[in-house]
Structure 1
């Protein structure tokens, strides 16, 4: 905001990847009065997401389409070849933002109803999209999707949500981070000379780690025990049955929760039960491995950050434990999912982008945040982007030339319109 005011004072244009906030909006009249261009939200997300989404939306509208559903997902992830920790994540952007992501909760539109999700419920590993190249990715909704419905011309859409992508294991673990108060911002620990192990011991004693462990893990083991017992009963019943009875047991019908008859195959039931047991054991193991990876058992890493909150120490841990190694590669994934109708016929369109970095210096994150800004600056200097006012890149005069040059740099979307 200080830089923005200086730009007005010295009559200079401003290009930034940052969101337009209330402070920036308060300068709109002065920006226009001085004939300046303040081009904001010109990075990856926000930035490339706006441009690619508007390009596809305007194409759909040109074909007579009426959009009913819009989902836009984007995330900075670790590339599969560098995916070697239980979090399936490495830091490729501001670690402070990782620590505090989602604290304000989220608001979005789903099936015609406004959804408000609290912080503690935000990181649900079961909200997923499936990409053929990567498998399942989890998503959590961004803080404020609704402010973009009018900007995108989608005030009549029944579903509108903008999200952040992570591998499911990250969301699974981060929910535990929140449960254990590790994002708390209250200064409570003198970390000079303190190891990560000592911090976790003190923090967990204060916040009832043993009770949490019993709730989160022992309950899973109890469910596993009950499932195993039921499986054994089924197997024993099969063993004592004669061949004709055994055949009859393989297929039967039950009434489901909605009162509908459902065909049941015994072998499928056993397979599903076995998979559930395996999943519960995996989750119990993963919970502990993730905490240990962050330093729960690390006596060697000394914090030495003075008086800190749990969130400060968590940031220190992330910076040390989830840093990109010299040869590690990060990855950007973006996916738009759009449902629409043309003459009463339902259609779906997707637009997908995957960009990998080269190493821990030339990252996909740096490339996709920096290039749109650089391209826009060049277009302005060449006189090819003669705009004024407070703008974001949602109009064709901005997104068409920028997307064209991004494509020349290997940032190309794969669109699929059914």
Structure 2
């Protein structure tokens, strides 16, 4: 029997655990799910004979290393900053590692040792990053095989709320890690546009967002991701004129988030005491000379340059920023306070459905004729637990785990999923779960 160890039983783990347990009898697997929250683990694994819950503190070296030594394969869905702890243990005990998170500088330092040990550390094996890499590379390789010369590549992805569940002025609800939502874009963005490198700082990122047309959904806003240029080499598109990876949102969200940035409510510079501090006083503490005797809507509207009846004011009111309720959260950064409010006010209700939208737009020349191809995927969740986000993050990891344990993939090194031996079987099986791409040409 093969043993699989999964670290993390949070929102993104649901579909992965379901997949592993569904395959366990036939594949002869046993799955250990490790998390600090025992009840959370049990809510995901139920009473399955093929699962063992392990309630541990990830920083407990003895407990963590014992679990890793006893397994055949490790999957990590921990917060990104904790992956390096697991990665070092996997290297020490010679275990392959899969995760949906980005390759970070710390694990990059281990690259030569990983290769030397003959191990596979597959990073970026979720949705974005993950399915975006695999679907894009399949398309790129297909175009190049037919003699096409690519000169423009744009890729968009967003975790959104399905239209029937849009009942807040934000046109958004939390379907994944709320901290990631709050910190999105904080480092600005860089991408290639018509031969020039474009840099966008955080203060401009959500301002005047451009839109794209998505079949069946209409216009969605987008903002460029932190570092598109870093993937030009991975995609072997170093010399093309335009290369951008971007995040999709409904337009109203971007307008509202831009207001939060202007108010200075997304920063992590220092903590403040929030006990006995009202939401309104917190939200306006960066506004110099604010007339606190004026109406709350008026203070905000005047600073932001909008009407008191505007959509943005309704959004701020919905988050509770215009009321006098006390926060009483202790010492927190602005970002931590905002995360608390977002998690409370923008949480998914049991019947809500989320939606993943991904689209690639590639322009290429073949036989002196320019062509544009759109490849897009839209998939919906079932409810607030079995979400589209959990499905698209977790299933690629589960499928790759199966391929590795079946010894159908023999790659080694620190990798991301851009090679045919990975993307072909993974994308093919994803179609069985209604995760598939449609294509159109211009």
Question: If the length of structure 1 is used for normalisation, what is the TM-score?
Answer: 0.81
Q: Which moved more, 1:206-215 or 1:397-406?
A: 206-215
Unmatched segments (≥5 aa) in structure 2: 1-83
Query: After superposition, what is the alpha-carbon deviation per residue over 1:350-406, rounded to whole angstroms, capped at 9, x for unaligned?
Result: 110111111110011000000000000011111111111111100101100000110
Partner of 2:362: 338
CA distance in 1, matches of 2:381, 2:153: 28
Matching residue within 62, 68, 82 for 2:151:
68
Choose between structure 1 and 2 for higher RCO, CA contacts under 8 A separated by at least 6 residues.
Answer: 1
Question: How big is the shift at 1:198?
Answer: 4.7
- Separation in structure 2 between the aligned mates of residue 110 and residue 196 of structure 1, nearest angstrom: 41
Is the partner of 1:295 in helix, strand or coil? coil
Tell me the alpha carbon deviations over residues 15-52 of structure 1, each in whole angstroms, 9 at most, x when there is no partner.
01111122112111111111111111100000000000
Instruction: Spell out, residue by residue over 1:272-331, the C-alpha distance to the aligned partner (whole angstroms, 9 max, x if none).
Output: xxxxxxxxx9xx61011011011023445x533201222221111101000101111111
Is 2:206 the partner of 1:123? yes
Change (3 A) 1:405 1:11: same
Alignment check: 8 A CA contact 1:125 1:168 kept: no
Question: Could you tell which deviates more after superposition, 345-354 or 284-293?
Answer: 284-293
User: Which one of the candidate residues 151, 157, 169 is aligned to 2:234?
Assistant: 151
Deviation string, structure 1 residues 191-222 (Cα, Å, up to 9, x no partner)? 2354434533555567789676336436xx7x
Q: Which has the higher helix share?
A: 1
Contact 1:181/1:207 (8 A) holds in 2:
no
User: 1:396 aligned to 2:420?
Assistant: yes
Contact 2:121 2:413 in 1 (8 A): yes
Instruction: State the shift of 1:60 in Å.
Output: 0.7
Deviations 1:86-135 (A, max 9, x none): 11000111111111111111100001110000111001343111113111
The correspondence for 1:325, drawn from 329, 349, 373, is 349
Q: Distance in 2 between matches of 1:28 and 1:139?
A: 33
Structure 2: how far apart are the matches of 1:38 and 1:117? 32
Within the alignment, does 1:92 sit opposite 2:175 as a pair?
A: yes
1:198-209 equivalent positions in 2, closer than 5 A: 198-200=281-283, 202=285, 204=287
Contact 1:104 1:143 in 2 (8 A): yes
Q: Which string of whole-angstrom CA distances, capped at 9 and with x for unpartnered residues, describes residues 117-159 of structure 1?
A: 0111001343111113111100000010001111111112110
Match of 2:436 in 1: 412
* RMSD, aligned CA: 2.0
Deviation readout 1:48-93 (Å, 9 max, x if unpaired): 0000000011111111100010000001011101101111000111
2:164 partner SS: helix
Query: Aligned pair in 2 of structure 1 residues 71, 42: CA closer, same or farther (>3 Å)?
Result: same
- Contact residue 125 and residue 139 of structure 1 kept, 8 A: no
Pick closer, same or farther for the CA change 1:336–1:371 going to 2, 3 Å.
Answer: same
Q: Work out whether 1:312 is the aligned partner of 2:336.
A: yes
1:45 equivalent among 118, 121, 128: 128
Structure possessing the higher radius of gyration over alpha carbons: 1
Instruction: Check conservation: 2:209, 2:223, Cα contact below 8 A.
Output: no
- Distance of 1:25 and 1:198 partners within structure 2: 43
Instruction: Name the SS for the 2:114 alignment partner.
Output: helix
What SS does the aligned partner of 1:328 have? coil
Name the residue aligned to 2:192. 109
Asked if structure 2 preserves the Cα contact closer than 8 Å seen for 1:17 and 1:42, the reply is: yes
Q: Which digits, 9 at most, give the CA deviation of each residue in 1:233-253, with x for residues without a partner?
A: xxxxxxxxxxxxxxxxxxxxx
Q: 1:84 to 1:125 in 2, by over 3 A?
A: farther
Partner of 2:247: 164
Question: Which stretch of structure 1 is more off in the superposition, 99-108 or 305-314?
Answer: 305-314
Q: 1:411 to 1:207 in 2, by over 3 A?
A: farther
Residue 357 of structure 1 aligns with which residue?
A: 381
